[in-house]
Structure 1
Amino acid sequence: MLVLASQVLLGCAPQPESMFEQQAEEEAANEIGAHSTIQNYELSKPSTSSAANALDKTGHKQALPINISKQQTIARQPNCNGQQTSCQYLEINTLAFTPPQPWLANIMWQTVARTLSPDTPFISQQQVARDSVSALLKQIEFRSEGVSSQPKYQRIDTDLILNQGLSADSVAASNGSNMDSHMNNEVMTGYLLVESTQQRSEDHQQGHRDYVMLDMQKKLQLTVEDVLLADADTQKLLSTFNTIKKQWLAEQGVEQQYLEEWPLPLSEQWYIDQQGLHLVYQSGELLNTQLQPVDFVVPFTQLQGIVKPSYMVRLSTSMTSS
């Protein structure tokens, strides 16, 4: 049975019994957006209009509230019950934004689609990405033999983490003024986390994490190069991770003579939070015996002259949709 549910403050929504009921529930959720809210964020709204550029009492841009709700879709292989341990199962937990954030929803569905089918071509449109995910769910739901390209069990979780506070540039510009009064209303950056847990056999479970770094003001997905200063490059950035790399390898039992020259490629998975800049390496990416992703972080104190001050999160807290 394919199930779509939305977590709400007033209680759990009933689980629909068909694809048509899923669609009806999605439409109903849009109509009761406030009741679907599990978290509320405020983002400074970039605009050239005088109304949108209105300032609050502290002289800073007024914030635009965004409500985030959770939605869940589950597909099970036909004739599946609790006694059938070999049944194929796919659970996808996604986010919905009110008011709509097409750019953010687009990035989320693209990432979910690539996580489920890494070998498929890049999907540039949100609806196409959603359709590809829907097609996979239907295959699992209606094929009695299951889908060979997918594991027996897989769960996809999505989360949006926002860096709330001031960047290093904002701190410098404030020049000793009262920052606390407006700090909590400013969200400059954040990252989307799409995490996959899958099991292909009873004794082998594997995790995978996809991070997408976001400029919440410009509504853009960021690359590593976007956050580096003009005279810095990725090799200079990687050099700051050398110490933590060697420490981790030594903890995994790698002999001392191999630590220095052990390759550390630039990971496709990275993000920034109040701790610093993180590089995340997937299962088996650094060592064949590495079963889970590993997260290396270098603090901003070691990134002076490498990372743009506007992307260094200062005096901040991270907010999550969980």
Structure 2
Amino acid sequence: MRMITGHHHISMVIKNAQENMTFYRDVLGLRLVKKTVNQDDPTMYHLFYGDKTGSPGTVITFFEMKQVGRTHRGSNAITKLGLLVETEATIDYFKNRFDMHHIPSELTTYRNKRVLQFTDPDGLELMLIDKGEDDVPEFWEKWDQSTVPTEHQIIGMGPVEMTVRRPKKLASVLTELFDYTLVDTMEGAQIFRSALENSASEIIVKELDAPTERPGRGSVHHLAIRVKNVEEMYEWEREIKERGFVSTGVIDRHYFHSFYFRDSNGIVFELATDGPGLAIDEEMATLGERITLPPFLEERREEIEHHLQPLT
């Protein structure tokens, strides 16, 4: 039986790749698992961070757009990203770490758990939350060269918040199309989980009757959700088209196959396969250290690298 098994990755827009790398690699302790380019516009970096191998469900990615302006916040957008840690003690560890780095943060609660809210250098809203008793994918691996001690490392993606004008329409996509389950409500928000029912698949749907967000630096472009293989992907694409949505068609991204569509609120979803994975064209020990390109861009390497500012 086909099913959506949780988050695959999430992608954002940034202004400065070096600043972004300093924050996510050096402060948050994530591994830079892939330094590549936007396959549709190879003049810009596309950076991937995650666990030791860049496992599905741990990966957050960023497109560098040097000329991008600020985001005008509003509705019909993905508005917050949760990152999972193993224990509540790690929340205190990062509070102290952020204070040391002069990064503003706030201790608050989410579903009766203490969480740490903060923003990244581009204004993306984030929160750290302990996974509690939830199971997470067994293949997630910690990275022993992280700047953060093993016991306090971020282990993967958690709740993703979507703020929309028509929450019933989004809820219908999640429950009727993708078989997500409504598991909780809070302060006007609905909490959905995929068939595996863990926080590594959690989507928060909030209602906001406001103008549509105008994206810029720190805005979220899309959320990708996990599909088992290419065969299932084509089945999902057919069903999505039958429901009246417009699909990009299945695309070979070298590291996975995927396609995109928008729900009626304008939220961009990507469906992506687990394999072949981000480690197929690099040695594990040096993952993310050089610029990698998919085969169809390799012959343009000299031209592409000429337009990219080196990252340290």
Q: Same fold (TM over 0.5)?
A: no
Higher helix share: 1
Q: TM-score category by the smaller chain?
A: under 0.3
Q: TM-score, normalising length from structure 1?
A: 0.24
Structure 1 or 2, whichever has the larger Rg, is 1
Q: TM-score, normalising length from structure 2?
A: 0.24
